Amino acid sequence: MSTRKICTRFAPSPTGHLHVGGARTAIFCWAYARANGGNYLLRIEDTDQKRSSDDATAGFFEDLKWLNIGWDEGPEFEGSGGGENGPYYQSKRLAIYNEYLQKLLDAGLAYYAFETPEELDTERKLARKEKRAYRYNRAALELNQETVQQYLDEGRPKVVRFKVPEGGPIVVHDAVVGEVQVERNEVDDFVIFKTDGFPTFHFAVIVDDALMGVTNVIRGQEHLNNTFKHVLLQDAFGFERPTFSHISLIFNPDGSKMSKRDKDKALRTFVREKNVESPPNDCIPTESWSAWLGSKDVQLEISEANDLAAALGIQLPEINVEDFQRAGYLPEVLLNYLCLLGWSPGNDIEQFDADFLINNFSLDRIVKSPAKFDRAKLLAFNLDALQKISTEEFETRLLDWCTKYAPEFAALGDKFSLFASANHERSKTFRDAVETSKFLIDDDDAITWEESKPVKKALLKGEVTGLSRLPAIIEAFTTLETWDAESIDACLHALADSLADGALGKVAQPVRVAVAGGPVSPPIGDTLVLLGKEATLRRLSRCLEHFSAVCDV
RNA sequence: GGUCCCAUCGUCUAGUCAGGUCAGGACACCAGGUUUUCAUCCUGGGAACAGGGGUUCGAAUCCCCUUGGGAUCACCA
């Protein structure tokens, strides 16, 4: 068809955060361009004045960068972007859109319309009530030229509509879905310029795609129906149609659409079930709290949602790319996993890196059916990836992560290295390492022992309880001169021999529970070195005192 | 409701386009085993072609219908 250089684009609307569906689209666009020696460009679709924000735009840049899919052309950001076909913000391309609009107007392919949104809404409701499809009735086409001019001169609010030409069915060839067609009368004279003087999405997209040399449009399947409008417009301008690829949506495991609202949903459900009366710790102003609780259409600011979740002690579902970063996933793993949702390289290959992707990506292996997002599989992939990297790399990356999300651990100083290596093999995510090591940064006196099953088992159960062995352990540790993992292990082995017929668990586990407050910690030697001798002894003593006081030992 | 799209284990998928291996892999699950805890790790196991019609010697694969799921019907993108 065309010998033009391949060019794909990712064109987000900066109204929120980059979510996994958008990220997957971006990855596919990026991979297709790379696989074909083409260009991958980023364009910011901010024609919705009310909802777009600069913060959101910056967030998109960072998320894309974190995933390591830099763009060749587009807004300049940390080495990505630039290019001849800018500006890459639609809000800065008004003059261009007006120029193209005029062409349509001159050709009689577009016309002004003056109905108010309320009037149209009434029409729509009526159509719905009468169970017929709503189409704009072309009333404005009946207006004679003088009237139109008069309205224009009066400054009446106006929109511009595209005049759908006569013809047969509209046919679109989609590289993923195949041939799709619709009867022409299904498409009404849609608005291409809004009252605020900005083009609508449909208009801006096709003008930009054409002017920027986009050859392949890869986007979510929610756009499939829009495509009929787009090709009509493209044909009207005489633009070469790009190759369309509509990829299926990503859903939650329960089949609902994965949405940013899921966070509010999770919070609201929790708040209702537990009858939380007011915002804990005043993390949310009372007015917005009641508004939020009252309507499922009201969403909290992302920071408010995070604060509330933290205050309530619940985990919000990860939806946005940043959520996965915060949760301690590796960007290359998220990229890998996202690819698998709707694409597969075949040959039973599942785990691969970006190089493999760009060497093997092709549109004809994209799956048409929608996919559900399975966090368990992502987690398993992350574990595999974490175990594959060297301990040095794990340490470096964990430190980066902690600096951003767990500064108290980043402040571990010369102990960080041991903290990292002790957690390398056992962590599924970076957050895992931190969450199971809270006891490391807690004060010695802040440790409490919840009497859970494993705690009781380690300290209170059996003919000879773990607790009863603590005095001997404390004594041995007190006289232990060298405080390193080997010495501690040797000491514990000796204690196990003398106290428990060599059963290391009988002495190691009580120690672990005593110092950590629970049954989970890195290998006992590392745990105690990390804590230091002083803290270890203090915690052992406190534990002994605590349980001696509350029960007969 | 109109229009459009989709349909293989619980989940992601290979196999479908060029009909012919007891439908393969991964995650999850279950049962054993290793390990001083957790997490790992090892071994084994159950688990799918939505239903019905055709076409054919032969259908997961091609066609039709049904059912189910989804998207979309804005001066949002």
Amino acid identity, position A534 = E
Spatial contact of A504 and A496, defined as CB atoms under 8 Å apart: yes
Cβ burial, residue A394 (10 Å; 0-12/13-18/19+): buried
Are residue A154 and residue A213 in the same domain, yes or no?
A: yes
Q: Which two tokens stand for residue A267?
A: 């919070």
Please tell me whether residues A314 and A453 are part of one structural domain. Answer: no
CB proximity A525–strand B (7 Å threshold): yes
Q: In the 99-128 stretch of chain A, whose C-beta falls under 7 Å of nucleic acid strand B?
A: 115-117, 120, 124
Question: A239 and A279, same structural domain?
Answer: no
Nucleotide with the nearest C1' to A381 CA: B27
Burial of A410 (0-12, 13-18, 19+ CB in 10 A): middle
Do the domain assignments include residue A342? no
C-alpha dihedral over A345, A349, A352, A357, to 10 degrees?
-10
Which residues of chain A (273-332) touch nucleic strand B at CB < 7 A? none
Residue A220 maps to a domain: yes
CATH of the domain at A459: 1.10.10.350
User: How far from the centroid of its chain's Cα atoms is residue A69's Cα?
Assistant: 15
Q: Are residues A293 and A240 in the same domain?
A: no
- A71 domain-assigned: no
Residue A171 domain flag:
yes
In this structure, the strands spanning A159-162 and A191-193 are antiparallel
- pLDDT confidence of residue A524: 93
Q: What is the pLDDT of residue A231?
A: 96
What distance in Å separates the CA atoms of residue A279 and residue A267, rounded to the nearest whole number?
Answer: 11
Residue A34 belongs to some domain of the structure: no
Query: pLDDT at position A551, please?
Result: 64
Place of tokens 């537990």: A274
Q: For residue A144, count CB atoms less than 10 angstroms from its CB and return exposed for 0-12, middle for 13-18, buried for 19 or more.
A: exposed
- The confidence score (pLDDT) of residue A2 equals 53
Q: Examine residue A156 and state whether it is found in any structural domain, yes or no.
A: yes
Residue where one domain finishes, among candidates A219, A247, A275: A247
Q: State which nucleotides on strand B lie below 7 Å from a protein beta carbon.
A: 1-8, 10-15, 17, 24-28, 36-41, 69-77
Residue A525 has what pLDDT? 92
Asked whether the ipTM of the predicted complex exceeds the cut of 0.90, the reply is yes
Task: Tell me, yes or no, whether A230 and A275 share the same domain.
Answer: no
> Would you write out chain A's pLDDT as a tens digit for each of its 553 residues?
457 899 999 999 998 889 999 999 999 999 999 999 999 999 999 988 788 888 999 999 999 999 999 999 999 999 999 999 989 999 999 999 999 999 999 999 999 999 998 888 888 888 877 777 788 989 898 899 999 999 999 999 999 999 999 999 999 999 999 999 999 989 999 999 999 999 999 999 999 999 999 999 999 999 999 999 999 999 999 999 999 999 999 988 787 777 777 888 888 888 888 888 888 888 888 888 888 888 777 888 888 888 888 888 888 888 999 999 999 999 999 999 999 999 999 989 999 999 999 999 999 999 999 999 999 999 999 999 999 999 999 999 999 999 999 999 999 989 999 999 999 999 999 999 999 999 999 888 888 888 888 888 877 787 778 888 888 899 989 998 889 988 899 899 888 888 888 788 888 999 999 999 989 999 999 999 999 999 999 999 998 888 877 665 4
Q: Which nucleotide is nearest to A178 (CA to C1')?
A: B5
Q: Are residues A447 and A495 in the same domain?
A: yes
DSSP assignments along A159-225, one per residue: EEEE-PPP-S-EEEEETTTEEEEE-GGGS---EEE-TTSPBPHHHHHHHHHHHTT--EEEEEGGGTT
CA atoms of A549 and A546, how far apart (whole Å): 5
Nucleotide with smallest C1' distance to residue A379 CA: B27
Q: Please check whether strand B approaches the CB of A196 to within 7 Å.
A: yes
Do A209 and A119 share a structural domain? yes
pLDDT at A253: 79
CA of A198 to C1' of B75 (A): 9
Residue A413 lies in a domain: no
| Model pLDDT, residue A552 | 55
Residues A228 and A287 in one domain: no
Residues A234, A126: one domain? yes
Domain containing A276: what range?
Answer: 261-318
User: Of A205, A184, A218, nearest to A10 (Cα)?
Assistant: A218
Query: Is residue A272 a part of any domain in this protein?
Result: yes
How many domains does chain A divide into? 3
Q: What is the pLDDT of residue A463?
A: 76
